[in-house]
Amino acid sequence: MSLKRRQEKISSLIKQVLSNPLIEITQEAFSCLTSITQLEMSKDLNTAYIYLSFFGNKEYHEIFKKIEEKKGHLRKYIATHTKLKYNPSLIFLLDPSIAHEAKIDALLDKISKDEK
């Protein structure tokens, strides 16, 4: 199996396993909806870069702080629900595409107002 295919399979597996615990963490503490928009694995499969988006709450720093506190629990959850040789370290990032889409929408709104 090629490395890229293996990265994609493990990414998909971890994304599926982590979705429920992440939703539980953010809903109980912040009452917001959380989504894993993208998950990328490093080439050595020891690091998972997890891109998150949040709906219903703008306190991103507080949410990430709570997730960082629970990072050990999440790694243990992955280890118990998968049969991976190595349990990857987790790096959580805010999905930049949401902010980019909002910026484009604002520019389009500005253009349409200027045309009127």
Q: Where are the domains of the chain?
A: 3-115
pLDDT of residue 34: 85
The DSSP bridge partners found for residue 54 are 34
Query: Which pLDDT band, with edges at 50, 70 and 90, does 75 fall under?
Result: very high
Alpha-carbon distances, residue 10 vs 29, 87, 106 (angstroms): 28, 11, 37
Q: What is the mean pLDDT of residues 96-114?
A: 77
Q: At the topology level of CATH, where does 3-115 sit?
A: GMP Synthetase; Chain A, domain 3 (3.30.300)
